[in-house]
Structures are given as C-alpha cells and as structure tokens.
Structure 1
C-alpha cells in the first residue's frame, strides 16, 4: 500500500480507506527530518532502519541500522530488516528506488511538504498511521503558534530580498518553489532569483542580472559547510550584508519546523536591528 494522501483519513494509491496499523510496526525512514519526527512521536522503539544522514536525535539512533543514503539505498540490507512501513519523500528519494522498495515493503508513506504549514497534515498522517494522534496534535498546536509568530514578524518588518547560498564552486541557491524559500518567506525574506525551476540553480556573480535585487546574503550550514571564513568573500562578491544561517532550521520539515520558524524569526529580528 502506498499512502500518498496527507490528511486524517488514510487513503492509499487506489483510493481505498484504511484503519491505523494494528500491531508493532517496523519503521524505516529514508528522510532525515522525518526520522526525527518519528522519534518525537514516541516511535523510536519501532524504528528499525534509517539513512546515514538521519542524525537527530542522536541518542535514540545509535542502535538503529543504517541502510545507505537518501538516494543510494542498500536494498539488500533494507529487505533484511523486514520493515512494515517505509517513509520517503518526493524530493529526497529517487522514484525508481521507491518503486523497487514497494515490491517488498507492505506500506510506503510518501511525503512532499512544500511549505511550513504542510507539516500539519504530515503530523496528522503519522499520528493516524501509528496510533499517535494525541502526540501529533501537540505538535500541530506548537507549529501553529510558531507560524503565527513568524507571520506576525514578517508582516511587521519590510520585506527583504535575500540570496540563500547552499553551495560554492559552483555557487548555488534555491528557487522560490522550494520548502526553504517558503520558510524564509514566512518571516519576510523573499529569495532571489524569482523563479521556480530549476529548484537549485547555479549562477555566476558577474553575469546573473537578478543579483542587483539582493539586499542580504544568507550562507547555509548545509549541504555546503559555509563558515566564518566565507563571509568576507561573499560580502566582496555581493556588495551586501552577509550572515551565516543554520541550514537544518531552514530546510528540515517535520517536528524541527517548529524550532526552525522560531529560529528564523529570531534571526530576522536580530539582523533587522543591526
């Protein structure tokens, strides 16, 4: 069964409704941020597999088997774990790999949050599948409060055009159709360039005309590890104020989105006051 509709009622790819899973689940997560969500829902004891990029919460994951990366899954190791459920994401996992996994894992949970508010149905979906409705509703309440705070700040301050750097050599950023861009927009940061595709465009500092619109550059801690030593280089290239930003807080959905929104609101407030 591929569960691909986000909502309180579980509906599979054939349109059939299903009750929450009855029995101890054996969960494998191929999505780092959703591995963290599984643990925050109290399901760590049922988590039998993860990727090498699933690093939070570290204490709970020490004994959980690694099955490769998000895009290079060790299918033999995964099969040996005999999972009942596998959690995947449209952007992070390869479709052909997921289709192969679906031939031997009974329940494939497909997620695709595109904005912070999309975490609400993700929480409820996981809560409904695994019998953690109360825990998921607590996360919904916390997320809605964080969203309200972030949106209020975004409305109170002038909107600012920013460049969010994710890579160096080549220089790369994010398009406005990404989850990262939606998170930043919540606090009033509009990403450049103003396009949806490609999702992670490369650019040259001396040829991209849209760079003239940028008023601040944010250097992410992932996937490229931007550090203090890169700030002066970027300031020289852009001619604009530049700051480091915690990439996990901007890009991880699931339960981390709650702290992520609060982090972004605090960072926006701090930089606006400088």
Structure 2
C-alpha cells in the first residue's frame, strides 16, 4: 500500500510502526522524523499548501490528513480521486484510537499496542508533587496560548500542570497582563520559534516568575512521539518542582 501523509506526527508514527519508504511515498516539508528515512520520501508541499498535482503523480492508495493541520478545501479536492482518512486528535483517548486504527490498517497491531502502553507509562510516571499553574504560549505578536480543547492542554493536565487558560477554547490571543497568575510560563519551540531573548522580554514584566522554553513536539506531536518523551518530561518536572 502506498501512503501519502499530510501530518508530521503521523508520518513519524507510520515509520515507528514499521512502514518503510516503499510504503510512505509522500510527505510534507514539516515531516522531519525519522530524519534518515523521510529524506528519501517525496515532499508534496506544506501542511497548509499541499501540491495536489504532485500527490496525483504518486498515485497513493491512501492519504492521511488531519482536521486541524490541513486545509479543508484541499483535502476535499483530494477526496475526489483518492481514499482520504481525516484524523482529529484532541485527547489521549483520541491518540490511543489513532494508533490502534493505524495498526489495523497496516497490520501492525502489536506495535501500535506497544506504543500505546508506553505512552500510558510515560504519562503515569511523570507527575508533579503539587499542581503548578502554567501558561503555555505558542505564538508571539500577538501572544497566543492554548485552551482546554487542545491536545497540548491534555498533555499539560496529564503531567499535573494546571492550564490557567483552561476556561478558553482553541488558541486564544492574550495580553502579557493575563499571565499574572501563572507560576511557570512555557514558551513553545513551535510553531513560533521562541528563543532566550523572548524569555528576557517577559522577565522585564515578571522578573520573579519561572519562564522556560519547552519542546513543542513533546506537547503537540500526537501519535507515537510521546512514547519517546519520558526522560524529557521527568527533567521538566524536576525543574519546575523547585518553584
């Protein structure tokens, strides 16, 4: 079966489940894991601007898309010629069924179950001794954060952070003043590439707060990626428990 993946984290999951470059024939430019394998896969554009002609030339048996990451009109255009599965992952349970379904489609049930169990272990073994109020920023100019109906929020809650914007939905725009109640401010490495200079900018307003850059992939890449983040989460928890 020839597959085109329009979702970076799903591309990674396909290779983790045991598919090869002979199966995954198309990917986006943001599909960067695993590097040694995706380099041999045809790039069909970005997640928001796919090249439909390139995909047609590959003649895939299946295209994997995502409700949030891809553009609805482009996905619908592909549906006229190809079988397309549109995923929607907002919770840990959604992620469980994503891997389970991929396992069934590609006859990789055992590996899918192995990753699901590993993800459960990673999240269960990463707990803070007390709830820490956190703000997780994904964008600058304007500052944007995450609401309770996002996968990032679920990961935060699973490892015992309290999202101070849990009463919001999706990705609301906020002001610096709205961060006042956070004990820790997390600046994600993606989609906006926060750097040390951005920590200093916020320190000017909140000199006593813990402000750190966090690995955006660890929080937002559903699929198999969380199974590899056990050490990262443990180190993160150790760092913020000193608050």
- TM range, normalised to the smaller chain? over 0.9
Query: Residues 149-206 of structure 1, C-alpha deviation per residue, up to 9 Å, x if partnerless?
Result: 13xx14xx21111111111111111112110011011111122323342x11112224
> Match for 2:164 among 178, 186, 192?
192
Match of 1:228 in 2: 196
The answer to whether the aligner puts 1:147 opposite 2:123 as a matched pair is: yes
CA-atom RMSD, angstroms?
Answer: 1.6
Gaps of 5+ in 1: 1-24
Question: What TM-score comes out, normalization by structure 2 length?
Answer: 0.93
Q: How does 1:53-64 map to 2 (within 5 A)?
A: 53-64=30-41
Distance 1:254 1:194 in 2: 23
Q: How many residues align?
A: 241
Please say if residues 27 and 48 of structure 1, whose CA atoms lie closer than 8 Å, have aligned partners that are also in contact: yes
Residue 218 of structure 1 aligns to a residue whose secondary structure is strand
Distance 2:94 2:195 in 1: 31
The 4+ residue runs of structure 1 with deviation greater than 6 A are none
> Match for 2:18 among 36, 42, 46?
42
Residue 258 of structure 1 aligns to a residue whose secondary structure is helix
Question: What TM-score comes out, normalization by structure 1 length?
Answer: 0.83
Match of 1:203 in 2: 174
Gaps of 5+ in 2: none
Match of 1:254 in 2: 223
Please say if residues 250 and 260 of structure 1, whose CA atoms lie closer than 8 Å, have aligned partners that are also in contact: no
Residue 180 of structure 2 aligns to a residue whose secondary structure is helix
Distance 1:187 1:137 in 2: 21
Distance 1:127 1:135 in 2: 7
Distance 1:259 1:250 in 2: 12
- Which sits farther off after the overlay, 225-234 or 33-42? 225-234
Match of 1:87 in 2: 64
Offset at 1:118?
2.5
Q: How does 1:21-40 map to 2 (within 5 A)?
A: 25-40=1-16
Distance 2:68 2:30 in 1: 15
Offset at 1:61?
0.8
The answer to whether the aligner puts 1:108 opposite 2:66 as a matched pair is: no
Residue 237 of structure 1 aligns to a residue whose secondary structure is coil
